[in-house]
Chain A
Amino acid sequence: MDRGMTGKYVPGETLLHRMDERAKLLAFLIMICAVIFTDSPAGYAVMFVFMAALGKAAGLSVNSVLSSVRRLGPFLILIFVMNSLFYTSEDPIWHFLIFSLSREGMIQGANVVLRIALVIVMSGILTRTTSPMELMSAIESLLHPLRYIGLPAEEIAMILSIAIQFIPTILEESDEIRKAQIARGARFESGKLRERAMALLPMIVPIFISSFKRADELAEAMEARGYRGAKNRTAKEKKKIDLRSVVMLLVCACVCAVQIVI
C-alpha cells in the first residue's frame, strides 16, 4: 500500500486531534466559504498564515502538508495555463490563433490554483487529525436536523461510513493483486499511455469482482446481524461540544468574515 498516502489519518494527541469532530467538520465548511471569498493578496496571506497555524496545532510538518499539493502539481499547472491562455480579455499581452495571454487570465488562474491548494491543505489537515469513524459521526450529526425535511441522515451516514471503511481494505487488496500480477510478469510502469492503460486491466477486473462480492457478503452479514435500516437505531453516546472547539469555530468564522470584508 502507499505508505506515505496524503491525508491518511495519523493517530495523535495534538490540539486538533482532541477537538470535537463536529466542530472540526463545521470549521472546515466555514473555511471553504472563507476560501471562496478570498481574492486579494492580503486575503491569501491571512489564509496561509492561518493554515500554517492550524498545521502547527495538528503537529504536521510543512513538508507533509505541502506534499499533497505537490502531488497535484501538474494538474494545478495545467489549470493555471488554461486560465491564462483562454481568458477572454480586451487587452491581451499576446495573441495567437485561439490563445490569448492576459493579465486578468493569469490573475484568475492564480486565484483558482491558490484556492484549490488551500482546500487541499485544509482537507489534509482535517483528515490527518480526524479518524474516518469520527468524520462519519460528525457527518451524521450535522445531517441530523435534515431528517425533518425527509432526508435519510442515518442511511447516508451508514453508506458513507461503509465506503470510507473499505478504502484501506480495497487499497490493500489492490496492492496484493498488483504484486501477484507483477510476479506473473505484468508491467505497470513502462510503455506508452495506451499500453499503460491496458496494463491496468489485470488489476481492475479482479478488484471490481472482489468488491462486488464483498458488498454482497457485507449486506448478508448485516442482515444476519439484524440490520433493518436506520429505524430505531440509537446513538452510542452523545458528546457535548467543548469550549475549545467553540473557540476554534469562532476563530474560523472571524477569518471568514475578514475574507468577506477585504
Chain B
Amino acid sequence: MSITTERIVYRYDRESPAEEAVLKGVSAEIKEGLITAIMGKTGCGKSTLIQVMAGLLDAESGRVMVDGEDICDRGFDRTALRAKLGVVFQYPEKQLFETTVAKDVGFGLKHLDMTDEEKRANIRWALEIMGFDPDEVGGKSPLGLSGGEKRRLAIAGVLAIRPKYLILDEPVAGLDPFGREKFIHLLKKLKKDGTGIAIVSHNADMVAECADRVIIMSDGEITMTGDTKDVFRDMESVAQAGVDVSAARRIAHALRTRGIGVSPDTIRYDDLISEIVRVSERGGK
C-alpha cells in the first residue's frame, strides 16, 4: 500500500508569459510504514509535489495513485482521501481558528463518519501524543498558547483523523532542539503503528535520524532516490542537487579521508560514536 505519483507534470501560471514548469514528470512513492524524506533546494518543486500527492493541486498530466486508486479520477471521493491522508503544512500554527483547543483539534473530524465518542477519543489521543494534557488545555483558546504549543496543537489537529498517510512540510523548522528530538520520536512511533510518512525537510540531520528512504529533487525532477544510507553515501551527487548530507556523514567522510576506517554508511550521531569507539578499540584502523 502506498501513495505513488506517475510522471507528474505541473506548471504555474499556465498559458501566461510567466509560465514555469515546477514538476517535469515526477514519479515517486511513499510507502506505508516507512518514513520517506523529500529533499532539494528551495524552489525545486518539493512542496508542489506533496500538494499534488495530497490532491490539493491538480497535475497537468500524470497520475496520483493512493492505495491503487487514481485520485484524479472523476469518480474518486475526495472526502475519503481527507480521512486517509493528513497534511501538515509549513508553519501550521497559522491555521488555528477555533475558540477552544478541543474544537480546533476536532475540526477535521466534523465531516467524518464517526460517533461522538470516537471523535472525543481521537481528540484525546491526538492531544496526548503531542504532549498535551487534554483536560488542562481542552477548553483554552488556541490563540493564547505559545508558539511551540501552537505548532504541536496544529499537528494534533491533523493527527486526530488518524491518517494512514501523513505528509509534513518542514515540520521541525523553527522548533527548538528539544522539541525537534521529541518530534522525531513521535514520527518513529507513528511509523511503527504503520503510518506512511513523507517529510519535506532541509534538515539533513533529522532526515538521517528518522528517514528510511530519501528522494532528492532538483529543478522539478527526481535526481536520486533510495535508502537514506545509500543516497547519503554518494556525497557528490547529493551536493550537486544543492542538498547537504548529515553532519555525522560529513565527519565520517573527513575521518575516512584521513585514513581512519569508519564505515561510509555512518549517517547518524549514535552510529558515528559507536564507529569511532569501534575503530579506536582496534587501534585506529
Contacts and interface: CB of A to CB of B under 8 A. Distances in A.
A179 B17 CA distance: 26
A179 B161 contact: no
Most buried by A among B54, B56, B94, B158: B94
Contacts, number: 66
Contact of B107 (A11, A173, A185, A204): A185
B89 A187 contact: no
B42 to A, nearest CB: 15
Nearest to A181: B95
B72 to A, nearest CB: 16
Given A184-B157, A187-B111, A201 B13 contact: no
B97 A201 contact: yes
Interface stretch (A119-127, A205-213, A216-224, A225-233): A205-213
Nearest to B87: A183
Contacts of A185: 79, 82-83, 107-112, 161
Contacts of B97: 201-202, 204-206
A182 interface: yes
A238 interface: no
Per DSSP, are chain A's interface residues mostly helix, strand or loop, or mixed? helix
A209 B87 CA distance: 22
Contacts of B108: 184-185
B45 interface: no
Interface string B135-178: 00000000100000000000001100100000000000000000
Interface residues of A, number: 23
Nearest to A10: B17
B41 to A, nearest CB: 20
B115 interface: no
B92 interface: yes
B263 interface: no
Most buried by A among B14, B95, B109: B95
A209 B56 CA distance: 24
Contacts of A210: 94
Interface in A192-209: 201-202, 204-206, 209
A137 B107 CA distance: 45
A180 B17 contact: no
Nearest to A201: B97
B95 A202 contact: yes
Nearest to B54: A183
8 contacts: A10-B16, A177-B95, A179-B56, A183-B54, A184-B107, A184-B108, A185-B112, A185-B161
Interface of B: 12-14, 16-18, 51, 54, 56, 79, 82-83, 85-87, 89, 92, 94-97, 107-112, 143, 157-158, 161
Q: Across chains A and B, which 8 residue pairs bring their CB atoms closest together, nearest first?
A: A205-B97, A183-B87, A184-B108, A185-B108, A180-B95, A185-B82, A179-B56, A180-B89
Given A10-B16, A205-B97, 8 more contacts: A179-B56, A180-B89, A180-B95, A183-B54, A183-B85, A185-B83, A206-B94, A209-B94
